[in-house]
Structure 1
Amino acid sequence: MKVVCAYLLACLGGNSTPSADDLKNILGSVGIEGDEGRLQLFMDQIAGKSIEEVIASGRGKLASVPSGGGGGGVAVSAAPSSGGGAAAEPAKEEKVEAKEESDDDMGFSLFD
């Protein structure tokens, strides 16, 4: 993702065909070391394409990504989720009644 962002920054800066060295310079300016393998893979995949083509093809792929959400309230279910972990049950509130203290010991005793 860092490489893609660096590429987009270079394009926004006016360089319509940034090289791998340009991307390394952009990443290096913020203290990120560019991975040669990922840079080369990205440059191979982007070769011969304009940024407009890449964004247009990405929008088509993005349409198939589930985004969830939708607003509204949150429903709480007592059924465990399919995530593999045990679902935490809501804590049951227990009413603890305070013991009535006798007036004989005036609120304290010998063994407190």
Structure 2
Amino acid sequence: MSAELAVVYAALILQDDQIEITSDKLQTLVKAAGIEVEPVWFSLYAKALAGQDLKALLLNVGAPGAGGAAAATGASGAAASTEAAVEEAVEEKEESDDDMGFGLFD
């Protein structure tokens, strides 16, 4: 198991038990698992996750952009803007192929 993965699992354990994620607590859990990790990883992860809701971060992994702005737009508005963005990308792709003098089936 990699050092980073061990620290991530320790952070998930702490979050699941609703315990504050600190470098000391991460180090204690990883050490109890019998995994050797350089001390710098504990402080890096503790600083990165300080004040963060790890559960919310995991649930919003694939969410586009700022979560609040996307949620405020609403489902229909988001669908319309996504469709417009896809159409624009397709048009740009077609134009760029024509500019080069060849297309997909040439």
Report the TM range for the smaller structure's normalisation: 0.3 to 0.5
TM-score with structure 1 setting the length: 0.45
Larger RCO of the pair (alpha carbons < 8 Å, separation 6+): 2
TM-score by length of structure 2 reads: 0.47
